[in-house]
Amino acid sequence: MIGGKWRNCMLLKFFVLYVVCTGGVSPAVFAQEGVKHTAAANREVEELKQQLKLMEEAFARQQQQMETLRNRIESISTETKVVVKEETRQAVQEYLSTDEATKVVVKEEAKQAVQDYLSTDEAREILGVGMPNMIVEFTPDDKKASLSIRTPDDRYSLNIGGRLQMQYEYKDKDDDFGESDTQTIDVRRARLNFGGNIYSKDLHYYVEIDGDKFDIGVRDFYVYWTPYEELNTKVGYFKVPFNRQRMASSAVLLLQERSIASEYFDQDRDYGVDLYGNPFAGKMEYHVAMFQGAGEDQADWFQGRENFDNELMFVLNARYNPFGKYNYYDETDIAYSEKLKATIGAAVAFNGKRRDVKEENYDNITGTVDCGLVYKGISWNNEYYLMSRDPESGGESLESEGFHTQLGYFILPKKLELAGRYAMIDPDDDVSNDTQREYTFGANYYFRGHRSKVQADFGHFVTEGDEEDENENKFRVLYQIMF
């Protein structure tokens, strides 16, 4: 009993002490106070946010004011510059009005006038000094030249190029010729050429020097005027516009050498004048030419043979290209033509030559007809020749004829080409067993088009005889580089 009372008394005292320590506040009351404190904290946070917002707005207004101030400063600076510039201009005008400034200006104007005059072609020609500004270009893809020097107005130019052909040849003369076999390595062709225009874009010149087999000579030397596509003029020493294979450069032949028919009937080079043109958008070409007709003298450097009968050679040439312009002076289709192209032509030479030699006591008339086509790596060219040799002292005329046909095909476009040719000559129709024939087959590999290539061919040549034929075989390899 006593123990229970004691416990109740202690519990009461403990409760009284708890109330006193907590300030006489009950737990419920205490919880309510906590809520009040939280609400007060939230109001403080909101007030802080509001103050932060006000500060941001104030900062933005300050930024705007600073930008306005900066613009004003720049405006003032610009106005100051304008004022300074105006003051400077005024000062310059005042100075230019003085006698001293007038002398300086007059002197400068005179100096400029002299400089302008000295830069003219007239002044340079009179003084013989100085050169106009020149443009130098490397043109490795040009047909002949590799280096071009020209004036900015294209009125003067100089194009320089060169070509070298190294050839190995093995000849099997057979016993029919009574000669032993031979083999040689030689400079088949070595050429250096200069060309360009002078005084205007229409007046051109060309010079080519050869060192074939180290025998130096002038190959070409002429001037040509090209005012219109339909009418041009060439004067000098150049190829006679007769047969197409001769007019094609040896740099672009299908095989290493021209056919035996071309060598027999062509008119080679001569002194003369040629009127020519390509009317109807290149579908036609014509030549009306006059030459000395004596040919060149290979034994005497650039000395033509004597025109012993005082008769000139006249040449007429006409060509038709039904499908437009045709590059008939390139015997291959290295361009790999996507469209069929064709050409047909005819020419006649009065008082012409035979094997580039003017014959005494004969009046020769030589004619030729040719045709060709190219298409996707295929090139087919044909030429037929007829010559009438009339004796001046009377007697019967001698008739000669010949032809060649050749075919090329790129088995690898623009790289590997196969070629074949058949040619025939009948020097005199009235004589039997004098016919000459050529069978040649070859292959060409192009490293950089015609500018760098290797050609190899095998030729079998037959000359008919009264009792037996004479045979000759030739194997040749040639490398060409143009620079």
- The predicted-structure confidence for 270-282, as pLDDT tens digits, reads as follows 999 999 999 998 8
What pLDDT score does 140 carry? Answer: 67
Given 130, 153, 174, the domain boundary residue is 130
Q: 468 and 333: one domain?
A: yes
The yes-or-no verdict on residue 428 having pLDDT over 50 is yes
pLDDT in tens, 85-117: 667 667 656 766 676 655 555 667 767 776 676
The yes-or-no verdict on residue 309 having pLDDT over 90 is no
CA 294, 297, 302, 307 torsion-angle sign: negative
Q: 116 and 54: one domain?
A: no
The tokens describing 384, both together, are 């037929």
Residue 175 located in a structural domain: no
Given 130, 152, 170, the domain boundary residue is 130
Residue 395 located in a structural domain: yes
Residues 357-367 have a mean pLDDT of 85
Residue 387 located in a structural domain: yes
Residue 400 located in a structural domain: yes
Q: 301 and 439: one domain?
A: yes
Which is higher by pLDDT, 354 or 84? 354
Least confident of 32-41, 130-139, 197-206, 413-422: 32-41
Confidence of residue 119 (pLDDT cuts 50, 70, 90): low
Residue 396 located in a structural domain: yes
Contacts of 8 (CB under 8 A, 6+ apart): none
Confidence of residue 314 (pLDDT cuts 50, 70, 90): very high
What pLDDT score does 18 carry? Answer: 47
Q: 55 and 120: one domain?
A: no
- Which whole-number Å values give the CA distances from 215 to 203, 206, 210, 471, in the listed order? 31, 20, 8, 29
CA angle 180, 182, 187 (to 5 degrees): 155
Residue 10 located in a structural domain: no
Residues 70-77 have a mean pLDDT of 68
Count of structural domains within the chain: 3
Q: 48 and 121: one domain?
A: no
What pLDDT score does 306 carry? Answer: 67
CA angle 140, 145, 151 (to 5 degrees): 100
Contacts of 81 (CB under 8 A, 6+ apart): none
* Range ranked top by mean pLDDT from 71-80, 151-160, 339-348: 339-348
How many CA within 13 A on the CB side of residue 302?
A: 14
Confidence of residue 50 (pLDDT cuts 50, 70, 90): confident
What pLDDT score does 450 carry? Answer: 93
CATH of the domain at 393: 2.40.160.10
What pLDDT score does 308 carry? Answer: 67
Residue 200 located in a structural domain: no
pLDDT in tens, 165-205: 999 999 987 655 567 788 999 999 999 999 999 999 999 99
What pLDDT score does 60 carry? Answer: 79
Residue (of 230, 337, 336) closest to 284 by Cα position: 230
Q: Domain range for residue 42?
A: 33-62
The yes-or-no verdict on residue 255 having pLDDT over 60 is yes
Q: 401 and 477: one domain?
A: yes
Mean pLDDT estimate for the chain: 81
The yes-or-no verdict on residue 76 having pLDDT over 70 is no
What pLDDT score does 92 carry? Answer: 57
What pLDDT score does 123 carry? Answer: 62
Q: 250 and 304: one domain?
A: yes
Q: Which residues pair with 406 in a beta bridge?
A: 381, 421
What pLDDT score does 419 carry? Answer: 98
Confidence of residue 24 (pLDDT cuts 50, 70, 90): very low
What pLDDT score does 413 carry? Answer: 95
What pLDDT score does 47 carry? Answer: 77
Q: 110 and 58: one domain?
A: no
The yes-or-no verdict on residue 245 having pLDDT over 90 is yes
Do the bridges between strand 398-412 and strand 362-375 make them parallel or antiparallel, or are there none, so unpaired?
unpaired
Q: 252 and 320: one domain?
A: yes
Least confident of 60-74, 129-143, 238-252, 419-433: 129-143
Confidence of residue 25 (pLDDT cuts 50, 70, 90): very low
Q: 119 and 37: one domain?
A: no
Three-state SS letters, the chain: CHHHHHHHHHHHHHHHHHHHHCCCCCHHHHHHHHHHHHHHHHHHHHHHHHHHHHHHHHHHHHHHHHHHHHHHHHHHHHHHHHHHHHHHHHHHHHHHCCHHHHHHHHHHHHHHHHHHHHCCHHHHHHHCCCCCCCEEEECCCCCCCCEEEECCCCCCEEEEEEEEEEEEEEEECCHHHCCCCEEEEEEEEEEEEEEEECCCCCEEEEEEEECHHHCCEEEEEEEEECCCCCCEEEEEEEECCCCHHHHCCHHHCCCCCCCHHHHHHCCCEEEEEEEEECCCCCCEEEEEEEECCCCEECCCCCEECCCCCCCCEEEEEEEECCCCCCCCCCCCCCCCCCCCEEEEEEEEEECCCECCECCCCEEEEEEEEEEEEEECCEEEEEEEEEEEEEECCCCCCEEEEEEEEEEEEEEECCCEEEEEEEEEEECCCCCCCCCEEEEEEEEEEECECECEEEEEEEEEEEECCCCCCEEEEEEEEEEEEEC
Residue (of 386, 341, 375, 364) closest to 243 by Cα position: 386
Q: 239 and 383: one domain?
A: yes
Residue 172 located in a structural domain: no
Q: 122 and 245: one domain?
A: no
Alpha-carbon gap, residue 428 to 267, rounded angstroms:
19
Residue (of 105, 122, 203) closest to 155 by Cα position: 203
The yes-or-no verdict on residue 84 having pLDDT over 60 is no
Residues 456-465 have a mean pLDDT of 92
